[in-house]
Amino acid sequence: MAERIGLASITLAALVFTVAPGLSILSLSCFLLLCFIAPFLPRFSFFLPIIHCGRNGVTAVALTFDDGPSPSSTPDILRILARHKIKAAFFVIGRQAAAYPELIHDIIAQGHSIANHSYKHDSLLMLRSYDKLQKDILTTQEILENLGVKALLFRPPAGITNPRLKGVLSKAGLITVNFSCRIFDRGNKNIRGLATRVMNRLRPGDIIMLHDTCPRQESLKQYWLTELDQLFRNMRKKHTILPLEEVIQQPVMSLIQAYKK
């Protein structure tokens, strides 16, 4: 999309320059502004194709968790998901997967799926060079493959993209999947009323983004788990919940070998 809009902006600027120089400058300025804003719009396929909701009229919702796995949160999430018979997709951080391979095994064993969420969730990852961006993503791919999982989807930290990401993902065989329902919980730092906030925003076809991390205050952990339990209960009453691959009609991962113990 960026290439088409850029070409159209340059063409328009060239055509009207002699008669309306101001319009030429405005056309180019709007394109540059769009290039600056686009990376921060998780649903906007500007620099590369982005899947952010159900495809081809699918109205079921999908549940995803970012930033895990973690021994302080993942087992509890898996327990509550099992209670409500919900399958989720876990967009995992590479170094966390390397540190806790048994949790990756548990996620898969319980019927959930795994995707790539960068190596260490660098908030400035999209400002890095092409080589550093590629190394980050491919390192995570290698870690997961060593655990028997080939991730087919990538979610950039905070859903932010850049012009270099398209080429990196193309070489890695990855597709970008972001989200359409986000409650700005700031990595479970803002969990008050989480269940109500999600339900108020949730629409048919949404991909929900939550976090596989514990609140910083240990005293809030049980509150958070209670909110998740309530959320899943309410979701099942009002929406059809399907695995992410069924909602986006795209595989999330493939198993490439027996799990390494």
Tens of pLDDT, residues 99-139: 999 999 999 999 999 999 999 999 889 989 999 999 999 99
Per-residue pLDDT at 260: 45
Is residue 203 over pLDDT 60?
yes
21-50 pLDDT, tens digit per residue, is 676 777 767 767 777 687 788 877 888 999
Helix 165-172 vs helix 130-146: crossing angle, to nearest 10: 30
Longest CA–CA span in the chain (Å) reads: 71
Average of pLDDT values for 234-260?
Answer: 90
45-75 pLDDT, tens digit per residue, is 888 999 999 999 999 999 999 999 999 999 9
Tokens of 213: 């991390």
Give the number of other CB atoms < 10 A from CB of residue 53.
20
Average of pLDDT values for 202-213?
Answer: 97
Tokens of 240: 């059809």
Give the number of other CB atoms < 10 A from CB of residue 78.
21
Name the catalytic one among 67, 211, 212, 239. 211
pLDDT band, very low/low/confident/very high, at 149 (cuts 50, 70, 90):
very high
Per-residue pLDDT at 15: 64
pLDDT more than 90, % of the chain: 74
Task: Clarify whether 66 is annotated catalytic.
Answer: yes
Task: Clarify whether 52 is annotated catalytic.
Answer: no
Interatomic CA distance for residues 8 and 236, integer angstroms: 46
Count of all residues that appear for the chain in the document: 261
Burial class (CB in 10 A: 0-12, 13-18, 19+), 136: buried
Name the catalytic one among 66, 76, 206, 212. 66
Per-residue pLDDT at 6: 61
